[in-house]
Amino acid sequence: MSVAASAKLNKTVKQQYLDLPQGDEVQATYVWIDGSGEGLRSKTRTLDWELKSLQETNLRDGCRRIMSLVEKEHPWFGMEQEYTLLDCDRHPFGWPRNGFPGPQGPYYCGVGADKAYGRDAVEAHYRACLYAGVKICGTNAEVMPAQWEFQVGPCEGVAMGDHLWMARYILHRVCEDFGLIASFDPKPIPGNWNGAGCHTNFSTQDMRQEGGLKVIEAAIERLAKRHHYHIRAYDPKGGRDNARRLTGHHETSKIDQFSAGLADRGSSIRIPQAVGEEQKGYFEDRRPSANCDPYIVTEALVRTCLLKEEGEEPADYSQ
């Protein structure tokens, strides 16, 4: 098994340096999204003042502007981030070197060394997010072995993108310590294996009140008319990454067809069973890919579901 050199370093030796007093200065780590639209970069500086810049050159500012138009609607989001743990040679963690693990079935929410691959890194990430103030609200093993999911939310407006991006950054940093890679590829293993998405739950104040199901159904009608707009917005390559995942199989809808249904995991938009029973709540957009930009996804949902005009065509996100 390939192990990253950083994972071989002595963490106990490192800790004695981390325990040294820092005086009145702090190490501030600056995190940004790189030109690919899905990679994260960081650097650290010594500061003795509060840093207030907001990265105005990325897509966050556009999302913030759109969210400011619908503040009275109180749009809430929750995103379910799927990812795959890989060795440093990009082989799925825990998979046999020659061949494949047993077929899918026992791995989803599985317990036991033969079903859950990499739980140590997953639990470390969960605790690190809680410590950092990230609104992580759950985690579970996914359908494909070595694939996991964590959930972030509920968050209102632009905060959804803020918290999900930081949760991704913390995951990469935690995986460094374990000699692992966290992959957000929407279809890391071709063939009869589940892909990785970032299902997005969305609601407004009216959807959450009595009779909210009618508001949800009206939003779904608007989403149906702008399916291709959302497909282009839901992965960094304008739909090309999601084309490998949204095949109509493995709990996905077909990329070129819009569908909606009650408790239907094979639809574009799923209304949870409990929402159908209570006649209020939220809906789940199952189309966003694991490597989507949450600022773009949440902005697109607000543009389609809440703005009176159907909105402008999205930018070419594939560049």
Return the half-sphere exposure (C-beta side, CA atoms, 13 A cut-off) of residue 64. Answer: 10
Confidence of residue 316 (pLDDT cuts 50, 70, 90): very low
For 250-290, what is each residue's pLDDT tens digit? Answer: 999 999 999 999 999 999 999 999 999 999 999 999 999 99
Domain 24-48+56-305 coded CATH 1.20.1740.10: no
For 9-65, what is each residue's pLDDT tens digit? Answer: 788 888 898 888 888 888 888 899 998 989 999 999 898 776 565 585 578 999 999
Map out the domains of the chain as residue ranges.
Answer: 24-48+56-305
pLDDT number for residue 314 = 43
Residue 92 has what DSSP assignment?
B
CA distance 120 to 118: 6
Residue reference for tokens 């082989």: 91
CA distance 59 to 57: 7
